[in-house]
Each structure stands twice: as structure tokens, then as C-alpha cells.
Amino acid sequence: MGSVLISSSLARALLTSVALTASVLLAGCDSDQVSLATNAKANQPVPPKLIAAMTEKDMDLQSPILVRLFKQEAELEVWKQTRSGQFALLKTYPICRWSGDLGPKVREGDRQAPEGFYSINPGQMNPQSAYYLSFNTGYPNAFDRALGRTGSQLMVHGDCSSRGCYAMTDEQIAEIYSLGRESFFGGQKAFQLQAYPFKMTPVNMAKHRNNPNMAFWKMIKEGYDHFEVTRQEPKVDFCERKYVFDAAKTPDAKRDPVFDANAKCPAYVIPEDIQQAVREKQQRDETEYAKLVARGTPVARMNTGIDGGMNKVFAVRVPEGNTGLSEAPDTNSLSLLAMSKAPGTIPSTVNPPKPNLAVADAAPQNESVVAAPAQTNTRVASAAPAEQQSSSSSGGGWFSGLARKMGMGSSDTTATTTPSTTPAASAPPATAASRLKAAVGRIVPSRDTSKDTAKDTLKDTPKSVVAVKPQEAAKPAETKLAQSRPPLKPSVVEAAPAATSKDSQLAGAAPVVSSNSFDSRFGAMK
């Protein structure tokens, strides 16, 4: 069965390319359309390992998909509909880089990766991205616009570089893109993307209970809960500047309710079976949340100047690597992560998240560090020992743990690059910043970051844009940059573990292709 699916996927991609090329030539040889029709990256077949996983989980190659993103965990999940009609998790991809803080995007240029519910249609798929491949998240949606939020070109793309996007490796985005493409072939008009600050568990809600975004997070948790209890894509509507999930018409209504994000909510009901299941889940969550707060679960430290996060499997392979606002590895798992195969090619120009040492040094040094030991399916946060708090809370705990693993220091000593002859009694007290700087100096070599800014400049600018926005860096045309990249990347499962260098490129988000571009590419096969 698996070999049949593989052959079918490959044959379809090849036939589509040939058919579209012929139709474009007859229409007048438009260079952009020819490029789209013959784009090998966008027509890569779904890898055999993924097809085997689909067969094992009773999924069809062209069944609908759903994507969930989590910043704190730095993970992207692809769910796929089984033959039973419910969605099941197909694969989890570690996110190479995301930018900003936990919380929704508010305005153009704030470097925030969006949070909320978005719809991805074929026109948002970009096969000519300078970031290998990409798709537009659809931000801002109606809810964002109702609040006056601004921003554009917020993508999920390759190249492991982000300015308000979710960046994967090239191999990862090739797989994700192929899964989206096949779902469109199967008739799915759009797939849902759910973006969250973290997995909406009681322990995470307790850790972030003082965050000013909590009201927004509780609102989108409603949709999270709907999916958790039904394993169906929740229907999303907006009214009174809020999200509404799985709304249906009232028993006496003759037509479906009409929603407007800026208007008063119409009369609607939520199906009783869904409402009851969601209510029971929320009651369990609230009971567990109350227990965690009563136990004194430490509140997560607010952003201390760190820009975004990176999954730990990438951070251990990058010079000066740091998970930033994402979850850091424990010392016991460092060696295993370092020996495991990398999920794709990590660019040599990758810019990992870095703590703002000045802000971290000024922050309170006795603030509890959030730690979550396992407890069945729920992790309960607890405070770290006092002597470790100052280094851990500023981001130094990750590096200190790595130093201890390598025999280069301990949790209660300050690492230094040269021996000191000054008596300990006269030495100044160690600060969070000095601990972090010293640990970095011992563990990893210094790196020239002068090209980081150039790397983060936006590249994927539509040709129709003739003026540069004041908030954004200049965006050169993408066509030449895209041509300098290798045409194809191997599957994630075949990727080499070591980071390899790439052609230097300017960074940024990719443009959205025109809404009819997908139809023009794949219409011949429908």
C-alpha cells in the first residue's frame, strides 16, 4: 500500500509539472508562470517514511491536515484526518527559530510571531520563496483587524531565520509543504493553523497566570479545548472582537448566523455534545490549576530582552546556541541531543536567541526559576535551589548545566577564562550577567555577529511593492536570491547531522503568491 502511495504522489507531481508547462507555453510564455509550473521544490513527493506512517495510522495521502504551533515548546505539529473522520497527530517538527515574545502580534515591525487561528488556502502557498518554500499564515485575521493590529508577510518558511515568522529547516518545510499540497489535491479548500504561546495545560496556565496576555490566551484556549475533545477542526467565527468556536444556528433559526468581528454577536448555539465535553475538560483544568496556584507554583519570568526561541535540538548544535524563550534541555539530555541526528540542515549564518545581559543583570536575582517535574500527564512547577536561581533566571542555567556536563564548572562557582589572583573575599559578587558571559566564554567560541542584521533583512517582497515601509528594512527582489540556492534538499530523515554553510542571504518573510496561482499550477489535475 505504501509503495502505491509513493508512486502515485511522484507521478502526480511530474504530470502536473508537464501539464502546466504546456499550458503556459500555449498561453504566451509568461516567465513567472513557467517558473511556477517547473518548480521542483514545490513538487517534491511526500517522503516514503511519512507515507508509511500514514498507512500505519489509517490515513489517506490526500486527507485533510491541520497544523498547531507552540512557541514555548518550539514545536510544529501536523495532524491528519484518519478514515474515521477524526484528526490524529502525524508528525511533530522542532521549530528552528521563532522571534518576539510569548503573546500575539500587535503591529508591523514588532518582530512578534502571531498567535491565534488562521486559515491557509492554496493561494497562500509560496513555491518561489527565498526561504526555500513557505506559506503565509494569513495574519491579520478578522479578529486582529478588529483590534487594529497590523503586520504582513508573516510566514512559516525554511532557512531557520525569523523576523516575526516561524522558521524551519529547508528539509522540514519541504515535507510540510508537500503535505499541504496533497491535502489540496484531495479537495481540502484550506487547512487550519493554530498558533499558541505554549501547550494550554493547567501547569502552563499557572506558570503564566500574571502575564498581561492571559485574557487573550484563555480565549484561544477555548478553541484548543474544542479540538482536544473532538479531534475535529473547530469552526472559527468572530464577533464583538472575540473568537467564537463551533457556533451553529439556533433551533428556531432558518439560516446560519452571520458573524462580524466588529458587530454584536448574533444568536447562536454550540452543539450540546461539544459543549458538554468542553465544559468537563475545563472543569478538570480549573481544578488542577487551582491546586498548582495553591502550592505556590512559581510565576514564569517575563521577557528579559530575549528575542524569541529555538528548539533545544538546534540550540546544542549552534555556536553560542540558546533556547531563548523556548524550553531548555536538562543536563541529562544534553549529550543525547548532541549525538542525535539534526532534523535538517542548520545554516552557518543562523542567529540564535540571545539574552539582553543589561536587562538580565538589572532584574531581581532572587526570583524563582520555573521548573516542572513530571507528574503523570501534568508537570508541576517548583522553585530551584537558592544558589542556582541567579544564574538560571538570566539564561545562564542552560550554559552552566552544559559546563557541568563537560566538567568545566559547577552550579555554585563562576566560570572564568583566566585564573584570578585576587582573594575571594575582595572579589565582587557574581551577577546573572557575569555568570552567563563567563559560561559562554568557556563553553563556546566567540562568533562574529556583524552579519546577523544583514541576515535578518526581509527578502520575500512581491514585485508589485514599489516603496519600502518605514518600519521594515529594504527588501531586494527575491528572484535572483532564490536562484542562488540549491534547487532541492533531501528529506528530513536523510539530513546530515552537521551544520553546513549556505549562500549568504538577506533575511525576511516571503511574499504571498496571487490567489489564483495554485489553481493555475494544479488546475489541470483537478
DSSP, residue by residue, 277-333: HHHHHHHHHHHHHHHHHHTTPPPPPPP-S---B--HHHHTTSTT---BTSPPPPGGG
Does the annotation mark 157 as catalytic? yes
Q: Given the C-alpha cell 555556536, which residue does it identify?
A: 319
User: Which three cell numbers, joined as nine digits, stand for 4?
Assistant: 502505491
For the segment 104-120, the average pLDDT, to the nearest whole number, is: 96
> Of 378, 360, 159, 142, whose CA–CA distance to 242 is shortest?
142
Are the beta carbons of 130 and 138 closer than 8 angstroms? Answer: no
Band (pLDDT 50/70/90 cuts) for residue 321 is confident
**Distance, CA of 432 to CA of 369 (rounded, Å):** 13
Are the beta carbons of 160 and 346 closer than 8 angstroms? Answer: yes
Does the annotation mark 165 as catalytic? yes
Which tens digit of pLDDT belongs to each residue from 330-375?
Answer: 777 777 777 778 889 999 889 899 876 555 555 444 344 333 333 4
Range in 40-44, 88-92, 464-468 the model is least confident about: 464-468
**Rounded to whole angstroms, what are the CA distances from 208 to 205, 307, 327, 360, 511?**
5, 18, 14, 19, 34
**Rounded to whole angstroms, what are the CA distances from 393 to 27, 213, 311, 372?**
62, 21, 18, 14
> For every residue of 353-374, which 3-state class applies, written as one string?
CCCCHHHHHHCCCCCCCCECCE
| Distance from chain centroid for Cα 498 | 22
**Quick one: pLDDT at residue 148?**
97
Pairwise pLDDT comparison (140 vs 342), residue with the higher score: 140
Upstream peptide bond of 352 is cis (omega within 30 degrees of 0):
no
SS3 186: coil
Chain mean pLDDT for the chain: 74
> Of 120, 11, 119, whose CA–CA distance to 61 is shortest?
11
Band (pLDDT 50/70/90 cuts) for residue 268 is very high
**Quick one: pLDDT at residue 503?**
40
**Distance, CA of 480 to CA of 478 (rounded, Å):** 6
* Catalytic member of 157, 208, 226, 239: 157
Are the beta carbons of 134 and 158 closer than 8 angstroms? Answer: yes
Q: Given the C-alpha cell 497562500, which residue does it identify?
A: 124
User: Which three cell numbers, joined as nine digits, stand for 195?
Assistant: 498558533
* 67 burial via Cβ count (<10 Å: 0-12, 13-18, 19+): buried
**Distance, CA of 123 to CA of 238 (rounded, Å):** 23
**Quick one: pLDDT at residue 348?**
87
Are the beta carbons of 197 and 217 closer than 8 angstroms? Answer: yes
User: Residues 38-56, buried b or exposed e (16+ Cβ, 10 A)?
Assistant: ebebbbbbbbeebbeebbe
* Catalytic member of 96, 160, 165, 239: 165
Are the beta carbons of 37 and 521 closer than 8 angstroms? Answer: yes
Band (pLDDT 50/70/90 cuts) for residue 489 is low
- Tell me the sheet residues that pair with 67: 78, 193
Range with the largest mean pLDDT of 198-202, 299-303, 359-363, 482-486 = 198-202
> For every residue of 412-436, which 3-state class applies, written as one string?
CCCCCCCCCCCCHHHCCCCCHHHHH
**Quick one: pLDDT at residue 358?**
53
**Quick one: pLDDT at residue 33?**
43
Range in 89-103, 124-138, 217-231, 374-388 the model is least confident about: 374-388
Query: Crossing angle, helix 396-405 and helix 386-393, to 10 degrees?
Result: 110
Pairwise pLDDT comparison (337 vs 122), residue with the higher score: 122
Which tens digit of pLDDT belongs to each residue from 362-418?
Answer: 544 434 433 333 343 433 333 344 334 333 333 444 444 444 444 444 333 333 333
Residue 258 sits at φ, ψ, to 5 deg, of -105, 125
Q: Is the pLDDT of residue 60 over 70?
A: yes
**Quick one: pLDDT at residue 39?**
85
